[in-house]
């Protein structure tokens, strides 16, 4: 994911153009393949076994490699080797910048140092962004805020599911505390039970989520599009509720709801907003917990 973050920084600072940034990301996208495809191509597992693992992933919060090792299809060392073959986003970005004669290695490192300083990142933050571990990446953008553990866990799971089901080239910005939120397009769902939670996804990026999840092209963000987004939220929330049930936490999911007109969410307490960019279209992940909220 480092290519998305650092590449966007290079665009914002005028080192590369928007066209170059998008072209580099698209090139890197093509150079990264799914773990299952590599394993099948290497003859380590069959297509049927890969399909089985993908079906399990749609039902529970687990990585492809973790499921494969649990099922006895792959060893830990084989998974490690496959992960290395997937492609390092940082090295792919460096390769593109060098081959296009945009920057030298020395210049790249200089810009990384400036990027680190301007964004107040630590060396560990940079390492996290360079990794393919979405759990480590998400912590970079939520750790400065006092976020309840339940919400942290939810945001990490949502991030993993966006990567799994929507797009693996996503970019987050730092989480915010807000008390009101307004958007024209919102898909949402609430939990009741041991926790009272409101989950919403708002913004124009909902078109990408709807199209990617439904595998269908929508002319606009209409009810059909938001229905697909609601289904994505419902599946993610189902995985989350199932995971918490193993800890004896009882959650009931209410039917998803959608809003296709300008809608405002107000809360007596605090809402958390995590900005996420998917193909440079913004979506806002909104979470309210243990507070009264109103929608109008």
Which DSSP letter does residue 121 get? -
Task: Note the pLDDT of residue 241.
Answer: 93
For the chain, the domains span: 2-134, 166-295
More confident residue, 95 or 284: 284
| 173, 8 contact by CB (below 8 A) | no
Count of CA atoms in the C-beta half-sphere (13 A) of 144: 13
| Tens digits of residue pLDDT in 173-202 | 999 999 999 999 999 999 999 989 999 999
Q: What's the distance, Cα to Cα, between the start and end of the chain in Å?
A: 37
Q: What number of H helices and E strands is found in the chain?
A: 13, 9
Which DSSP letter does residue 280 get? T
- Distance from C-alpha of 106 to C-alpha of 285, rounded to nearest angstrom: 37
| Tens digits of residue pLDDT in 12-56 | 999 999 999 999 999 888 775 578 877 887 899 998 999 999 889
This prediction's pTM: 0.83
Percent of the chain surpassing pLDDT 90: 73
Mean pLDDT of the chain: 92
**Range name among 26-40, 99-113, 120-134, 195-209 with the lowest pLDDT average:** 26-40
Mean pLDDT computed over 119-140: 91
| 111, 10 contact by CB (below 8 A) | yes
CATH architecture assigned to 166-295: 3-Layer(aba) Sandwich (3.40)
User: Which SS3 state, helix, strand or coil, does residue 1 take?
Assistant: coil
Distances (CA, A) of 277 to 61, 131, 198, 227, 296: 22, 18, 21, 20, 26
Task: Note the pLDDT of residue 230.
Answer: 97
Task: Note the pLDDT of residue 87.
Answer: 66
| 256, 234 contact by CB (below 8 A) | yes
Distances (CA, A) of 257 to 223, 230, 254, 260: 10, 7, 9, 10
Give the containing element (helix H, strand E) for 153: helix 149-165
Other residues' Cβ atoms within 10 Å of the Cβ of residue 78: 17
Residue 81 has pLDDT above 90, yes or no: no
């Amino acid at each position: 994911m480092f290519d998305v973050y650092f590449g966007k920084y290079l665009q914002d600072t005028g080192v590369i153009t928007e066209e170059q940034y998008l072209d580099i990301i698209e090139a890197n996208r093509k150079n990264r393949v799914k773990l299952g495809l590599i394993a099948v191509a290497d003859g380590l597992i069959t297509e049927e076994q890969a399909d089985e693992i993908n079906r399990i992933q749609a039902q529970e919060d687990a990585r492809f490699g973790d499921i494969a090792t649990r099922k006895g299809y792959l060893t830990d060392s084989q998974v490690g080797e496959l992960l290395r073959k997937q492609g390092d986003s940082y090295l792919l970005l460096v390769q593109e910048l060098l081959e296009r004669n945009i920057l030298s290695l020395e210049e790249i490192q200089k810009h990384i140092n400036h990027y680190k300083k301007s964004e107040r990142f630590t060396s560990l933050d940079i390492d996290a962004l360079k990794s393919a571990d979405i759990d480590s990446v998400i912590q970079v953008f939520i750790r400065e805020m006092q976020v309840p553990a339940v919400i942290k866990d939810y945001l990490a799971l949502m991030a993993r599911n966006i990567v799994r089901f929507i797009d693996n080239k996503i970019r987050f910005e730092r989480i915010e505390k807000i008390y009101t939120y307004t958007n024209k397009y919102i898909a949402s769902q609430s939990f009741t039970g041991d926790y009272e939670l409101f989950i919403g996804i708002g913004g124009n990026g909902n078109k990408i989520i709807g199209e990617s999840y439904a595998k269908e092209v929508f002319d606009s963000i209409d009810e059909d599009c938001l229905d697909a987004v609601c289904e994505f939220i419902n599946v993610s929330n189902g995985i989350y509720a199932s995971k918490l049930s193993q800890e004896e936490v009882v959650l009931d999911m209410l039917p998803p709801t959608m809003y296709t007109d300008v809608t405002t969410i107000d809360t007596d307490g605090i809402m958390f907003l995590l900005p996420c960019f998917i193909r440079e279209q913004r979506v806002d992940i909104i979470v309210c917990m243990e507070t009264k909220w109103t929608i109008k």
